[in-house]
Structure 1
Amino acid sequence: MSELNVLFRKRIGMPESETITFDTLDRLLDLTALAIPFENLCIVEEGTYVISRRSVMEKILVRNEGGLCYELNLMLYFFLLENGFDAKLIRGVVYRHDVGAYYTIGRTHATILLTYEGQTYLLDTGFGSNLPLKPVPLTGETVSSRNGEFRIKKEQTEYGDYVLEMKLRHKDKDWRIGYTFDSQKLVTDETELNEIQTIIAEHEQSPFNKSPLLTQLTERGNVTLTNSSFTQWVDGVMTKETIDDERYKELAKQHFGLS
C-alpha cells in the first residue's frame, strides 16, 4: 500500500485493512468531509505552491491542513486510483446566485468523474459545505444524503454539457444550480490545476482571495468561519457569532485543527 493510501486512510479514520468498493464510497465521502476542511488560507496568506501529487499530499496528509477544490479533489482522485477505481479529473464553472449567472473567470472548479459498470458518476469533496456525500449519476437520478438532495441535468451551457443541481437540507426549498461541467474535457496535466490556483489567487473577481474562509461538515450540520463571524448549523438550527482576531484563531484550532 502506497504512502498516500496509508496517510489518507489515517487522516479520515478508515482502517488500512478495509477494501474500498463502489458500495462503500458513500462512507468514504462522508469520512473525508468530516475530517478535511475546505479552506483558502494558503491563498489569503499568499502561500501558493506548485500543485502536484507530492505537494498536495504534504499539505493535506502530512501537515493536516485543508484546501480548495483543486487540492481536495486531486487528493481524492489519487486515492481512488490507488484503490482500483476508474476516475478522471474534470473542470467546471460555479454558479453565482447573487447575480444569477456563472462565474466568468474560467473553469476554476476541479472535480471527479468515476466510471463503474458502464455508468458515470460525479464525486466531489471540494465544494465547500455543498457536498453530495454520494456518487451522483449522470443519468439525472436524484441521490439523497444527510446533506440534502443532488442530481445532474444534461444541459448544454457555455461551459459544459452537464449541470449539478442541489437542494441542501434545512437550507433550500427549491433546486438550485451548483456548477456546470464538461464531461468530455478531462484534466490530463497538473499544470491545469496550477492555472486554477493562479486565477483563484490573483483574479479580482475570485471569491477566495479577499479574506479567510473555512467550512466543514459535522455529524449534525456544518460550521463556517471567517475573520469576522462563526456560523454553526446544528440539526437545522443556525447560530451566528461576531468574532475578533483572537476568537478567530481559537475557533480555527478548535473546529478545524488549524493553528
Structure 2
Amino acid sequence: MDIQKFESYLKIKHSYYSTPSLEALNYYVRRFMITVPFENINVQNKIPISIDIKDLYNKIVIQRRGGFCYELNHLFATYLEHKGFHVTRAAATVHTPNGGRSPEGSHMSLYVNIEGTLYITDVGFGDLPTSIIEIGSKTQFIPTYDKNGVYRAVWINDNQYALQKLRQNKWMTLYEAHLKSQSIKDFEDKISYNEHHPHSIFVRHLLITQPQSFGRATMTYHSLTLSNDSTKHKYDVTTNNYKYFLKKYFNLNVSIIPFEP
C-alpha cells in the first residue's frame, strides 16, 4: 500500500502528527469516514470480494470506491498499524432494529489501545460518529456526540462490550463485540456468508451510506434518505437518477447492475 497516496486521497496532512495519540486517531477516523463510503455495490453486482490489502487499496484509493466492514476496517487497521497504533480486529454481533441479530460474530469491528484505555475505531459499520468512542470503566460511560446522534460503549463482562446509540431517550445496542483479537482470515466464512448467502442483508439489499456536513446520506434501491439526529428527508431513487445521487452524495462513479436495462 502506498501510504503517501492513501493519505493524499484522504487529505490527511502527514505533518500534523508524528506519533500515535488520541488527537491523531480522531483525525484519521474522521478523514476516512468523510472520504470513503460504506457500500455493498460489488456484492449486488456479483463481483468477488477480496480482502487482500493490494486489492483493497486499488478499489478504495485508486478506483475511489467504498466497501463493507471487512474491506473498510481491514484497510484502515493496516493504515493505523503503519502509523504505530495497537489495533485489534474484533468479532461483533449486530442487533437489528426489529429485535433480531446478525449471525454470531459476523461484523468486523476495530478498537485501539492507547495507554490502557480502549477506543472503538470502527469505520465500517454505517451508523457511527466520525470520531472514536471510548470504552470507559465499568461504572463510567463516556458519551460521544455527533450530528447523527449520541453513542457510548459499555462493558457486558470482562471480555465483551456493547456499542449503543441513544434513541428516544433510551440506549439501544447496535452491536456487541468480543475483545479477543481476530485476524482477517478468521472472518472468511462470515465474508462468504455476507457475499453469497440469500439470507444476508448485503445480498438481499443495496446499502450505501456516508456521513455528510448535515448528518448522513443513505441510499437503497428505493430511496435516498438525508438525515441527522432530528430530521429525515426521503427521495425516490430510479434508473434515471441513481448515478446522480451516487456522485453527489458519495462521490461514486459506478454502475449498479440491477438499475441498468
Q: Which residue of the partner structure matches residue 215 of structure 1?
A: 209
Q: Provide TM-score, normalisation by structure 2.
A: 0.87
Q: Which residue of the partner structure matches residue 85 of structure 1?
A: 85
For the 8 Å contact 1:228–1:243, the answer to whether it is kept is yes
For the 8 Å contact 1:94–1:102, the answer to whether it is kept is yes
Q: Which residue of the partner structure matches residue 182 of structure 2?
A: 187
Three-state SS of the structure 2 residue aligned to 1:54 is helix
Change (3 A) 1:236 1:109: same
Structure 1 residue 235 displacement after superposition:
7.3
Change (3 A) 1:132 1:95: farther
Change (3 A) 1:145 1:235: closer
Structure-to-structure mapping, 1:144-155, within 5 angstroms: 144-146=144-146, 147-155=148-156
Three-state SS of the structure 1 residue aligned to 2:78 is helix
- CA deviation vs aligned residue, 1:189-211 (integer Å, no higher than 9, x gap): x3233332211012232111123
Distance 2:143 2:228 in 1: 22
Listed as ranges, the gaps of 5+ residues in structure 2 are: 254-261
Distance 2:107 2:228 in 1: 28
Q: Which residue of the partner structure matches residue 114 of structure 1?
A: 112
Structure 1 residue 257 displacement after superposition:
1.7
Structure 1 residue 27 displacement after superposition:
2.4
Structure-to-structure mapping, 1:19-168, within 5 angstroms: 19=17, 21-98=21-98, 100-103=99-102, 105-131=103-129, 133-139=131-137, 140-146=140-146, 147-156=148-157, 161-167=160-166
For the 8 Å contact 1:227–1:245, the answer to whether it is kept is no
Structure-to-structure mapping, 1:164-243, within 5 angstroms: 164-167=163-166, 172-184=168-180, 186-188=181-183, 190-233=184-227, 236-243=230-237
Distance 1:86 1:237 in 2: 37
Change (3 A) 1:108 1:7: farther
For the 8 Å contact 2:222–2:236, the answer to whether it is kept is yes
Structure 1 residue 120 displacement after superposition:
1.9
Identity among equivalent pairs (%): 22
Moved over 6 A (4+): none
Could you tell which deviates more after superposition, 42-51 or 191-200? 191-200
Q: Which residue of the partner structure matches residue 256 of structure 2?
A: none
For the 8 Å contact 1:124–1:131, the answer to whether it is kept is no
Distance 2:168 2:25 in 1: 25
Q: Which residue of the partner structure matches residue 250 of structure 1?
A: 244
The amino acid across from 1:117 in the alignment is E
Distance 2:215 2:168 in 1: 14
Distance 1:80 1:89 in 2: 12
Q: Provide TM-score, normalisation by structure 1.
A: 0.88
Distance 1:248 1:41 in 2: 13
For the 8 Å contact 1:132–1:145, the answer to whether it is kept is no
| CA RMSD in angstroms, aligned pairs only | 2.1
Give the structure with the larger strand fraction: 1
- CA deviation vs aligned residue, 1:113-168 (integer Å, no higher than 9, x gap): 211112222211111033362232242522323233222222159xx72211112x
- Count of aligned residue pairs for this structure pair: 248
- CA deviation vs aligned residue, 1:154-185 (integer Å, no higher than 9, x gap): 2159xx72211112xxx64321101011102x
Distance 1:222 1:180 in 2: 23
Structure 1 residue 243 displacement after superposition:
2.3
